[in-house]
Amino acid sequence: MRHRLSLIWAMFAVCLLAFSPAMAQDIRVQNYKNTVDGLVGRWAAAEIALASKLSPILDELTQKRAISNPTDADKTRIADLQRQRDDIAKQMDNESDNLRLELLIVEVQPGAPERDLVVLPDWLKQIVKEKGIPTGKGVTIVPDASFDVKALKLKSFSVGLRFNWM
């Protein structure tokens, strides 16, 4: 009975020692993910606010373009709406550029396991799609990412916003 108890305690100690470095390394990747999650959340909030401004502009622009014989006032309004649409598109692109720069600055703490780092680009693309702006009304999100495992940082990241307007 004593041998069994000693054997169980020895196995428990070996398991504890064997898995503790893996747990410590996983926390490094988890901290990176939490930081990235916060950055993407801030970006998504800004993009959603801009998208909510863009939606009524696109609706009105569609209505104005549907007029068969537009007046001079309608033509002026169409030009104004196109300018507003383009301004908001530039602001959305600027937010995406800011996100890209912030993500390129963030690094994983040294010692993180490579097996956990290999999946980061796919995870990052998925989180951008999940938290990003609701697509529709001619706006499509196209995320792309690659991770440099040796340098422990994001090598490249882009969030393309495709605007499909008439």
How confident is the model over 2-55, as pLDDT tens digits? 555 555 655 555 544 444 444 444 788 888 889 988 988 888 888 888 888 988
Contact 139, 54 (CB under 8 A): yes
In terms of Cβ atoms closer than 10 Å to its own Cβ (0-12, 13-18, 19+), residue 56 is exposed
Over range 103-107, report the average pLDDT. Answer: 83
Could you tell me which residue, 149 or 63, shows the higher pLDDT?
63
Q: Where are the domains of the chain?
A: 43-163
Residue type, 119: V
Provide the pLDDT confidence category of residue 138 given band limits of 50, 70 and 90: low
Per-residue pLDDT, 28 = 82
Q: Which residue has the tokens 């998925």?
A: 126
Residues 83-98: tens digit of each pLDDT: 999 999 899 889 888 8
70 to each of 55, 56, 81, 84, 91, how far by Cα in Å?
22, 20, 14, 19, 29
The pLDDT value recorded for residue 32 is: 86
3-state secondary structure of 155: strand
pLDDT per residue as tens digits for the range 114-135 = 777 777 777 877 777 776 655 5
How many whole angstroms separate alpha carbon 135 and alpha carbon 163? 10
